[in-house]
Structure 1
Amino acid sequence: MTFTKESEFEEALLLALTKKGWEDEVIKNPTEADLLKNWANILFENNRDIDRLNNAPLTEGEMQQIVEQITALRTPLKLNGFINGKTVAIKRDNPDDKLHFGKEISLKIYDRHEIAAGQSRYQIVQQPRFKSKSKILNDRRGDILLLINGMPLIHIELKNSNVAVSQAAYQIENYSRSGVFTGLFSLVQVFVAMQPEETVYFANPGPDGKFNKDFYFHWADFNNEPKNNWNDIVSSLISIPMAHQLIGFYTVPDDSDGVLKVMRSYQYFAANAISDKVAKTDWKSKHALGGFIWHTTGSGKTMTSFKSAQLIANSKDADKVIFLMDRIELGTQSLKEYRGFSDEKEEIQATENTSVLVTKLKSNDPANTLIVTSIQKMSNINDEEGGLNAHDIEIMNSKRIVFIVDEAHRSTFGDMLIDIKNTFSSAIFFGFTGTPILEENEKKLNTTATVFGDELHRYSIADGIRDKNVLGFDPYKILTYKDLDLRRAVALEQARAADEEEALSDPKKKVIFNKFMKLVKMAGHIDSNDKNIKGIEDYIATAQYQNDIHKEKVVEDITENWFRLSDANKFHGIFATSSINEAIDYYRLIKRVKPALKITALFDPNIDNNEGAEYKEDGLVEIIEDYNAQYKQDFTLATHAKFKKDIAARLAHKAPHQRIEKTPEAQIDLLIVVNQMLTGFDSKWINTLYLDKLMEYENIIQAFSRTICCDLFAMQLF
């Protein structure tokens, strides 16, 4: 339906809202003082019992005490904790309350669990009046405010069908700059900019924050189909119960950056799916499968997994929720993120050692509900000193335990997860992955579904690229040999001829030679009968790519184009090779050809007695010595783990190298790897990935995804 007048659209929206859980009586043109009186009345009705207000209404002075608390908290992030804290304390100054006069009492303001039930009230405000911060400026008038229990929590700005939704968003930004969202209105958590054919929603960045269009989200359904029509938005995003849940469960006060965040639709559906699954779990069953979430790299899986755990913990549907990371360093990173996401009253527990882990698993203290640990530590829990004994296991299996496994495509297909499942036979397991293992690329006859259970929600890389939530790929294939030369080499080999003259002079050899020169495609393909048809590249021996000619061409391309691809040395690159020996060869070659390029290499440091061990050891020593000299460090083979951690910190510009972009001499330009850092490692400062190795299925997507956090990136395929 088209609306040429904004006023008509506004009236239609108001009517639709009253049919989706909001009260019929609309509050029209109120001032802040009017809304404070309305809130005072609701607080009185919800707290009039003898233990609270003792049937004596709130005075203006008592409401002013609440406003002062709001003003002191100031930011939407802090106010999110105020709203979801359930209660607010005041000192009674109403003499009619003889029982509490002069004493502090606690008032219930909002309960995230009382959804469309209990004492929850849902009111609509039309055309609220906002006082400007200066007498010189005119007062403002908004379009629609949505109140929950009297608190203005969602603000909506409208435009008609002929005006872009960006103009509604701009109006919100302008109001914010004008100081409109202060006092009572600083409680607003979520903004909605809407026109009949498009809607975006976003968290309130607050008086000190910046509006970022990258975080203006479109709502979508469970299958990630965008919902653009205004009626669909009224029926989903801003309906009751969804609007109540949005404020109570799906906003995230992120202390790590001080910014309030609101979840995207796919994050909501995923977290909700896990929470629902746990709520319906039969805890008497053994080896229950929970399911897995397929969300692409860069789509916010960490926040989604945290919210899933928080929903489970808040619902009391489980006694323990354990975040299981597949590497210790990822566990440390996730612990910081989870603690940033958590409410003030929530505690996220670390596990310094096995003994601490066991103690927290056995504990009945609610503070030990959410635990972060590594799959290695958990799998060794029976073997290490301080680990589980039979009595411990009995205690554990009497508890309702949920495991949430990050990067479920990796180490979960080894023995470690099997050991954990056998130890915690009554637990339920959920996996998060951007690259699930399917039947085509199964590992040890297993897929992600056989390990975890059914797919609960999917947000694929195609969805992410379409929605511009993740960046697309921009691959370039760099030829180190001409196609014609490769064709000729393959054609001669297949025709068993020494040269073209011999191939063309023999009728049988000529047929074969011409077939490969003219008919066979360069790349192989699957035909209409699902038969694999080989291409020229399939006939080329891998030795072709291990000789010096190829390596020199690769290095020539990297060094000649480095300045452009790195955006004048602003960004870093990762170069993946097919073997440790190749990584060492390339390290030495680049060092010789372009000594000014700051490079290092990272691969498995273990030295065995196999052939080539000496070459590997010499390479490791050279790489670490060069690194120590370049960056004034003192790493050794024994401290290789710290060496790796320092490399990761420099590439990600994280502690202790947070502002490394201001000191170029302390940066790493190019990291050479074999397998490490190609999955699970994220840095917005890596913009180029060089591949000189064969990769497929989940490995190629994971490797490509190392660059999708950066707006200016490329992939060079050799």
Structure 2
Amino acid sequence: MSKVEETERMTQNRVVELFTEKLGYKYLGNLQDKDNNRNVETRILRNYLRRKGYSEGLINRAIYRLNSAIKNQIKSPYDINKDVYGYLRYGAEVREDIGENKLTVRFINWDDVYDNEFYIAEEVSIQGEHTKRPDIVLYVNGIALGVLELKRSTVSVTEGIRQNLDNQESVFIRPFFHTMQLVMAGNDTEGLRYGTIETPEKYYLSWKEDEKAQDRLSREVRELADGVEHILDKQLIGMCHKQRFLDIIYYFTVFDRGIKKLCRPNQYFGVKAAIPRIVQKESGIIWHTQGSGKSLTMVWIAKWIRENISDSRVLIITDRDELDRQIEKVFKGVDEEIYRTKSGRDLLEKLNETTPLMLCSLIHKFGARGVKDDDASYDEYIAELNADLPPDFEAKGDIYVFVDECHRTQSGRLHTAMREILPDSMFIGFTGTPLLKKDKATSIEVFGSYIHTYKFDEAVKDQVVLDLRYEARDIGQQITSQKKIDQWFEAKTRGLTDYARTKLKQRWGTMQRVLSSRSRLEQIVRDIIFDMGTKDRLQNGRGNAMLIAGGIYEACKYYELFQVAGFTKCAVVTSYVPNINDIKGETTGEGKPTENVEKYRIYQGMLNGRSPEDFEEEAKRIFVEQPAQLKLLIVVDKLLTGFDAPPATYLYIDKRMKDHALFQAICRVNRLDGDDKEYGYIVDYMDLF
């Protein structure tokens, strides 16, 4: 055995001992030379089901159903894994004989963790098109639910991640992963990384215990972890403690529109902190910073409520259309039906009935001209609720109310109004924004104390979101800088011969003089186009940018200026809906179009016959999925909350903003998106900081 192999062997021996001695798993052995290793060890599963009292006939039919799902050769790995997960979570409904009632055979006892049998095996040889041998496999009742690849300290954990991804390819052992729930890799220097089936390398997560958590399981995990030295061992205890392992699989796994996802630590501990408060019906606030997965946290809390509290219903209140749509999309994406109410009256009618069980309601509505006022929107919504309240109104069910963006000062008035309608309900306020001193007292007074917090600096440290880099730009000085023009010229002429560069430079000799005479908007347009040609992620098409304009007219002018400059891969997304009535009475006789006429003309030209709704959806899709094809989104108020676009790398601000609105806006560019996105960049044309 070489020294390299000896080092890895020592780590693996230690990990096996950790599982058997500290976590109580049974050792299934080194299965390198065992034939026909499978993801369901039938002998173990049969023995478990016999112990649970099922007849041989039920056992045979249940295992047949499970194996049929695992061996499906038509469906995608995602769909097969989803079907198998359904059997694991809910059991298999089978009949003893034809004509008899169906009975549910449960492969795992989720209610009593320690009634199950946990096993660890190493060097598990799996036959496929090419045989592979995962280092560690974890079984519950004979069903393989976890896999772990180990690397020595001097080899990056990414090699273990890529090994897991290779193993899921059809040329290797893809069917073995049809039962897998946790897919892990680790070493002694970087610790543990985890994902699930088909998780891309860049989305593997790192587990971290919450030192603030005081539940029994968290205290027990911390006590066990304190007794080991290596970070890998500590994190394995955190994730693979029997109760935690099954907890994550049962409560914190979702199949989201073709992507299987597991919780981040902050989501896990946020939900866990909420549960005792929900049981006691003690309202409070969950503050999880922008980009840390607040929507899925809502999903997991709502699912827990629906599954554990009889007669429960969940109402989610938002004050932005894009947040309302996002919540509906997230819930339906994970197969949780949620009804979007059409008005305050519709909400009251639905609450007065026994269904639907989950609802979302939108406070904020944009006016026809795109003018909005938060105070007016809240007041109108509350007035509508009071005006439409039937005299015999009595909300049906045990209702739990989630209020999104609860940091807004208007939430207090809303809370009071909703309390009158739903006096027995529990309220949970969610925010991704720090509560400012002027709002903090009001929010805590209204909703109660913090249930759980996960702040921006924690998320950056945990590599859940990216840190931000800020630059204030003086447009006149930036654009007329000879150094900057030379830098732009160098970027544009890479690869040309010296002769060609000299001839081209003569043509650009007047660039400084021309740019210095441009209007402010034109100068900003040229500045952004300069970045598009010189900043790595903008230049190579892997990243893109957003520009916040001061108003809808300014956004339209920006769009037109970019088009004139030949930069066509941009779009405007605002609340504006062009209407012919907008330009009636706008003729001045002076031959110069008014702002309303200009806005209408530019917007109609951009839409090119499409509805604003269809145009917006397509623009958002391309911006997220094909960043090289839509390099710049120009916005005013829309998409500054609830819009998750990992490619977005630069945010240009040309609008007066402050407090919550500013923080939410700059966090549009803090999402992870591969190793070449190191930071989110904020370019400030308004000297806001």
Q: Same fold (TM over 0.5)?
A: yes
Task: Give the partner amino acid of 1:458.
Answer: T
Structure 2 segments unaligned to the other structure (5+ residues): 214-221, 366-377, 479-516, 580-585
Q: Report deviation, 1:361.
A: 2.4
Change (3 A) 1:423 1:649: same
Q: Letter of the 1:705 partner, please give it.
A: C
Q: Give the corresponding residue for 1:505.
A: none
Residue 220 (structure 1) shift: 0.6
Query: Following TM superposition, by how much is the alpha carbon of 1:595 offset from its aligned partner in structure 2, in angstroms?
Result: 8.5
Give the direction of change, closer, same or farther, for the CA distance of 1:140–1:266 in structure 2 (3 Å limit): same
User: How much has 1:568 moved relative to structure 2?
Assistant: 7.2
Does 2:469 correspond to 1:474? yes
Task: Tell me if 1:671 matches 2:659.
Answer: no
2:239 counterpart SS class: coil
Superposed counterparts of 1:145-160, under 5 Å: 145-160=137-152
* CA deviation map 1:201-231 (0-9, x unaligned): 43332xxx4x511221110121599997133
Q: Give the residue type in structure 1 aligned to 2:162.
A: Y
TM-superposed CA distance for 1:243, in Å, is 0.5
User: Separation in 2 of the partners of 1:375 and 1:112?
Assistant: 43
Alignment of 1:214-613 (within 5 A): 214-223=202-211, 229-254=231-256, 256=257, 258-281=258-281, 290-316=283-309, 319-342=312-335, 346-354=336-344, 356-364=346-354, 368-375=356-363, 380=381, 383=384, 387-392=388-393, 394-396=394-396, 399-410=397-408, 412-413=410-411, 415-439=413-437, 442-443=438-439, 446-480=441-475, 553-564=523-534, 566-567=538-539, 573-578=545-550, 600=572, 602=574
Counterpart of 1:700?
662
Residues 78, 253 of structure 1: 8 Å contact kept: no
| More displaced stretch, 169-178 vs 578-587 | 578-587
Instruction: Work out the CA distance in 1 between the residues paired with 2:647 and 2:598.
Output: 26
Check whether the contact 1:3–1:196 (CA below 8 A) recurs between aligned residues.
no
C-alpha distance in 2 between matches for 1:453 and 1:243: 32
Compared CA separation, residues 220 and 551, structure 1 to 2 (3 A): same
Partner of 2:92: 88
Tell me the SS of whatever aligns to 1:373: strand
Deviation at 1:44, TM superposition (A): 2.1
How much has 1:8 moved relative to structure 2?
3.7
- Does 2:127 match 1:132? yes
CA change 1:570–1:620 in 2 (3 A) is farther
Following superposition, the deviation at residue 389 of structure 1 comes to: 2.0
Amino acid at match of 1:358: L
Picking from 32, 41, 52, the partner of 1:46 is 52
Q: Is the 8 A contact 1:146 1:154 kept in 2?
A: yes
Higher mean alpha-carbon deviation, 185-194 vs 212-221, is at: 185-194
**Residue 244 of structure 1: how far off its partner (Å):** 0.9
Q: Distance in 1 between matches of 2:620 and 2:325?
A: 15
Letter in 1 for 2:277: K
- CA deviations 1:20-76 (Å, max 9, x no partner) are 55344545536436811111121222243xxxx2x66845x8744431132236532
* Matched length: 595
- The structure with the largest alpha-carbon Rg is 1
CA distance in 2, matches of 1:70, 1:151: 11
Residues 324 and 406, structure 1, Cα contact 8 Å, conserved in 2: yes
TM-score normalised by structure 2 residue count: 0.74
Q: Distance in 1 between matches of 2:63 and 2:248?
A: 26
- Residue in 2 that maps onto 1:638: none
Structure 2 residue 161 is the aligned partner of structure 1 residue 169: yes
Matched, 1:632 2:611: no
Any conservation in 1 of the 2:328–2:340 contact (CA below 8 Å)?
Answer: yes
Displacement of 1:467 after TM fit? 3.0
| Residue 619 of structure 1: how far off its partner (Å) | 2.0
Task: Give the whole-Å Cα distance in 2 for the aligned partners of 1:382 and 1:47.
Answer: 59
Given candidates 640, 653, 659, the residue that maps to 2:621 is: 653
Equivalent position of 2:37 in the other structure: 32
CA positional deviation for 1:680? 3.0
CA contact (8 A) 1:3 1:9 kept: no
Structure 1: gaps (5+ residues): 93-99, 282-287, 484-546, 608-612, 635-641
1-structure distance, mates of 2:465, 2:402: 23
1:77 aligned to 2:82? yes
Q: Deviations over 1:264-318 (max 9, x none)?
A: 111101111122210122xxxxxx5x22222222222111111111112211167
Change (3 A) 1:114 1:301: same
Deviation per residue, 1:534-591 (Å, 9 max, x gap): xxxxxxxxxxxxx997556434423544444543788654333456776677677767
Quote how far apart the aligned CAs of 1:124 are. Answer: 1.3
- Hey, what's the Cα distance between the residues in 2 that align with 1:202 and 1:559? 40
My pick for the range that moved more, 185-194 or 235-244, is 185-194
Question: Quick one: percent identity of the two aligned structures?
Answer: 21
Q: Deviations over 1:614-638 (max 9, x none)?
A: 999932332232222233127xxxx
Give the Cα separation in 1 of the matches to 2:523 and 2:254.
Answer: 49
1:682 equivalent in alignment to 2:644: yes
Whole-angstrom CA distance in 2 between matches of 1:20 and 1:102: 48
Structure 2 partner of 1:144: 136
Distance 1:8 1:699, change over 3 A: same
Aligned mates of 2:270, 2:162 — CA distance in 1: 31
Shift of the 464–617 alpha-carbon distance from structure 1 to 2, 3 Å rule, reads farther
CA distance 1:407–1:651, change in 2 (3 Å): farther
Name the TM-score, length of structure 1 as normaliser: 0.71
Contact 2:107 2:141 (C-alpha < 8 Å) held by counterparts: yes
The one-character-per-residue Cα deviations of 1:658-699 (angstroms, maximum 9, x if unpaired) are 98779x6xx6845252x4443333334544322234433323
Specify whether residues 171 and 385 from structure 1 end up closer, same or farther in structure 2 by C-alpha distance, changes over 3 A only. same
Cα pair 2:429 2:447 within 8 Å, conserved: yes
Distance in 2 (alpha carbons) for counterparts of 1:462 and 1:650: 34
> 1:401 touches 1:428 (CA, 8 Å); kept in 2?
yes
- CA drift of 1:401 comes to 1.8
The one-character-per-residue Cα deviations of 1:218-261 (angstroms, maximum 9, x if unpaired) are 1012159999713312432100210010111111111x1x1211
Match of 2:487 in 1: none
Bigger Cα displacement from structure 2, 355-364 vs 238-247: 355-364
**Matches for 1:98-137 after TM superposition, within 5 Å:** 100=97, 105-110=102-107, 113-117=110-114, 120-127=115-122, 129-134=124-129, 137=130
Partner in structure 1 of residue 496 of structure 2: none
Find the residue that maps to 2:209 and give its secondary structure. Answer: coil
CA contact (8 A) 2:45 2:141 kept: yes
Moved more, 223-232 or 65-74: 223-232
> What corresponds to 2:14 in structure 1?
12
Give the 3-state SS of the residue equivalent to 1:130 in structure 2. Answer: coil
The amino acid across from 1:145 in the alignment is V
Residue 189 of structure 1 corresponds to which residue in structure 2?
181
User: How much has 1:91 moved relative to structure 2?
Assistant: 5.7
**How many Å separate the matches in 1 of 2:531 and 2:296?**
37
Deviates more, 1:220-229 or 1:307-316: 220-229
After superposition, the Cα gap between the structure-2 partners of 1:660 and 1:194, relative to the gap in structure 1 and judged at 3 Å, is closer
Instruction: Please give the secondary structure, in 2, of the residue aligned with 1:391.
Output: coil
CA distance in 1, matches of 2:70, 2:624: 33
Distance 1:385 1:451 in 2: 20
Change (3 A) 1:407 1:619: same
Letter in 2 for 1:704: I
Q: Distance in 1 between matches of 2:520 and 2:171?
A: 62
Aligned residue type for 1:413? S
